[in-house]
């Protein structure tokens, strides 16, 4: 999973193509639980670019997007938000995949 490097990069990515931004942090235990399944999810939904957003590094972006719990996911396609799976709850592989399945329905 690519890591977001700047707020400018986020703005460029969200307006062009299909992206799922995963908001996370190194210290987050619920984020570490899903880490082993993320490569499988990325491979299954390879029409999306998956981008890791470090909550601590991009706290202003999180505030702007109302991301107050991690791990959280937001899907974008060509500038339009397709959906969000935002909460402070632990997430399972099945829940993440179900979220992705709903993005373009």
For the segment(s) 2-99, the CATH number from 3.40.30.10, 3.30.365.10, 3.50.30.50, 3.40.190.290 is 3.40.30.10
Catalytic hit among 4, 20, 28, 103? 28
- Convert the pLDDT of each residue in 59-97 to its tens digit: 999 999 999 899 999 999 999 999 999 887 889 999 999
Q: Are 42 and 91 in contact (CB under 8 A)?
A: no
Catalytic hit among 31, 53, 74, 86? 31
pLDDT greater than 70 at residue 105: no
62 in catalytic set: no
Domain locations along the chain:
2-99
Report residue 94 as tokens.
């099945």
Report residue 66 as tokens.
């109302």
pLDDT of residue 89: 81
Percent of the chain with pLDDT over 90: 91
Lay out the sheet containing 18-24: strands in order across: 2-3, 49-54, 18-24, 72-77, 80-85
pLDDT of residue 56: 95
Distance, CA of 44 to chain centre: 15
- Convert the pLDDT of each residue in 13-48 to its tens digit: 999 999 999 999 999 999 999 999 999 999 999 999
28 in catalytic set: yes
């Amino acid at each position: 999973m690519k890591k977001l490097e700047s707020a400018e990069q986020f703005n460029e990515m969200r307006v062009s193509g299909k992206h799922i931004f995963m908001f996370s942090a190194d210290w987050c235990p619920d984020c570490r639980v899903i880490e082993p399944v993320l490569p499988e999810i990325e491979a299954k939904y390879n029409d999306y670019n998956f981008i890791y957003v470090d909550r601590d590094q991009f706290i202003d972006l999180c505030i702007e997007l109302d991301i107050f719990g991690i791990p959280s996911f937001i899907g974008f396609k060509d500038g339009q938000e397709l959906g969000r799976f935002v909460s402070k709850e632990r997430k399972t592989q099945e829940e993440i995949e179900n979220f992705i399945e709903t993005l373009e329905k």
